[in-house]
Each structure stands twice: as C-alpha cells, then as structure tokens.
Amino acid sequence: MIEPRVDAPVQRKIGRNDPCWCGSGKKYKKCHLGRDRVTGRGGRRPARAAQDRDEIVLKTREEIEGVRRAGQLTRAILDELAGFVRPGVSTAEIDEIVRARTAAAGATAASLDYKGFPCSSCTSVNEVVCHGIPGGRALVEGDIVNVDVTSVLDGFYGDASRMYEVGRVDEEAARLVRVTRECLERGIERVRPGGRIGDVGAAIDRHARAHGYSVVRTFGGHGIGRSFHEAPFVPHVGKEGTGDPMVPGMVFTVEPMINQGTWRVKVLADGWTAVTADGKLSAQWEHTVAVTEDGVDVLTA
C-alpha cells in the first residue's frame, strides 16, 4: 500500500557526519560506524521501533531476512493470482484468494482494517491509480488491474504489487503496463550505498517521460520493516543527488504509478480509491528492496 506524500516530510539524514545514534555527541564515523559495519546493526538505535515518521531505522541482517520471508509470501500470493485473474472474476474474489492464502501461511494482511480499509488487498482497475477497494465489479476482457498485497509474517512486513492483463488487452494498455515495469526496474537500478533517494525518482521520471507518460506525485514509496509505513518517503519524481542518502540497512518500497495522461489524481467519496484526474489509464508495479554494502537486494523478487 502506497504512502501519501504529505508534502515531503523533512526526514532525518543518516550519514557518516551525523551525530552517532548512541548519544555520545560524536560524529557517527568517529563513534559506532566501524562497529556497526561488523555487527550489521547500522545506525539503528537499539530496541527502538520506527515510532517517529521522520526517523530512518536501519535494519540488521536478521531483520532484513524477516522482511524477505514476508516478501516471499507476498510474491507467492501474487504468483498464484496470475492463474486466477481472467474475465468474469470479481475483485472481491481476488481479495478472497489473498485473504485465504495469507491466513493459511499463518500471516495477516497489513491492509485489512488499516485506518479502516476493509479488505486484504488493493485492486486497482484501469483508471484507478491505487487503493482500489475490492468488490463486486467483474473484470472484463481488455482490463488491466493492479493487485497490491502486504503480508505480515512473524512481525515483518513484505509489500509488493503487480499488474495483470485481463484476457487480450489493446496495444496502448499493454505498452503502459510494460513501460511501468521498466520504470520500476530503472528506479531499483539506482538503489545503492552512496546514492540518494532522489536518484530513484529521477530515473523513473526520465523513463516515463521518454515514453510520453507522467508519474504520479501524490503518492510514493516508503520505508518498511516492523512497521507498515516508515521513513523515508520515496518520491517517484526526483532530482539526482538530492534526498536522503542511501546506506546499507535501509529497507523501502519502490512503487511507481505511471499515467497515460496527467499525473494528477482525485480520491473518490470512499476516501480510498484514487483515480486519474482525466480518466485515462494508470499502471503500477512494486517491490520491497534493501540497500546492501554493494548495491540492492530485491526482497520480494
């Protein structure tokens, strides 16, 4: 599930020259940096959850593996849906598959009852950008639908979404789905230690604009781990070399929403469903990723 922008909150930057997490008053590089590289803790304050939305919490190796296990369950559910999504199937039936498979794995669905959201997944069809509520609508030939699933397993969250083409879709819809996936891939390619969060959005926006599409700015990716939404906010439009520095132990989602027309959206009366302002198609793909010592690890792949 996507994080609303809230006009880009000011986020705590984690870097070598920041004050150390231990409270010594020394710079991180002069205090715990070397030790944390060995222990894998990173700059995370011991025994503290991500209670402050502006605090980036670095994950240990063990925590990253926990997110991976949750993410692999999410991936398995999305894989199963590939054989189920077809004309005549309702979005409520899709949600029931998600609910049942999540429960069978001993996990819970993060979206269910999240701020009142009534279902175990988000199903966003055609002009719906995100947060579509599953219901009685039956899919028809030519639809495109995004299914967004976040599994909570053993206290860790794994968030991913995928596009499905319903039967035979027209070339314009197929092209949007393909380019949106490429935008996700371009963004993930820019995840690396020493980079900046703005690098991710810059790569996504550049690829989308090259194909005549726009990138939704109202929503973005987010940190994730033991909480559903953590810092940093990950905009999908950005300027290279700006934003929070990426360091090993950061875990966040990359989930670009790409529109055929304007990037602007409107939220319907249900308070959740976001649609394109001009009624044109939208598509989205999502992965949860971790910054490693030498690059990126896609935890939901």
Per-residue model confidence (pLDDT) at position 51: 38
Dihedral, CA of residue 130, residue 83, residue 207 and residue 267, to nearest 10: -10
Contact 17, 28 (CB under 8 A): yes
Task: Please choose, from the candidates 6, 18, 4, 1, the residue with its C-alpha nearest in 3D space to the C-alpha of residue 244.
Answer: 18
Q: How many other C-beta atoms can be found within 10 angstroms of the C-beta atom of residue 80? A: 12
Per-residue model confidence (pLDDT) at position 26: 64
Per-residue model confidence (pLDDT) at position 33: 64
Residue 38 identity: V
> Token pair of 157, please?
């969250």
Per-residue model confidence (pLDDT) at position 71: 98
Q: 144 - beta bridge partners?
A: 165
SS3 content of the chain, % helix, strand, coil (to 5): 25, 25, 50
Per-residue model confidence (pLDDT) at position 121: 98
Q: What is the DSSP secondary structure assignment for residue 227, as one 8-state letter?
A: S
Q: How far apart are CA 9 and CA 51, in angstroms?
A: 15
Q: How far apart are CA 42 and CA 63, in angstroms?
A: 12
Per-residue model confidence (pLDDT) at position 100: 98
Low-confidence ranges of the chain (pLDDT < 70): 2-15, 19-26, 28-53
- pLDDT tens-digit profile of 229-286? 999 999 999 999 999 999 999 999 999 999 999 999 999 999 999 999 999 999 999 9
Per-residue model confidence (pLDDT) at position 55: 84
CA dihedral over 150, 153, 157, 159, signed as positive or negative: negative
Residue 217 identity: R
Q: 149 - beta bridge partners?
A: 160
Per-residue model confidence (pLDDT) at position 17: 75
Q: Are strands 282-284 and 257-259 parallel, antiparallel or unpaired?
A: antiparallel
Per-residue model confidence (pLDDT) at position 13: 46
Q: How far apart are CA 150 and CA 119, in angstroms?
A: 11
Q: How far apart are CA 71 and CA 73, in angstroms?
A: 5
> Token pair of 54, please?
């502006």
> Token pair of 232, please?
């940093």
Per-residue model confidence (pLDDT) at position 16: 73
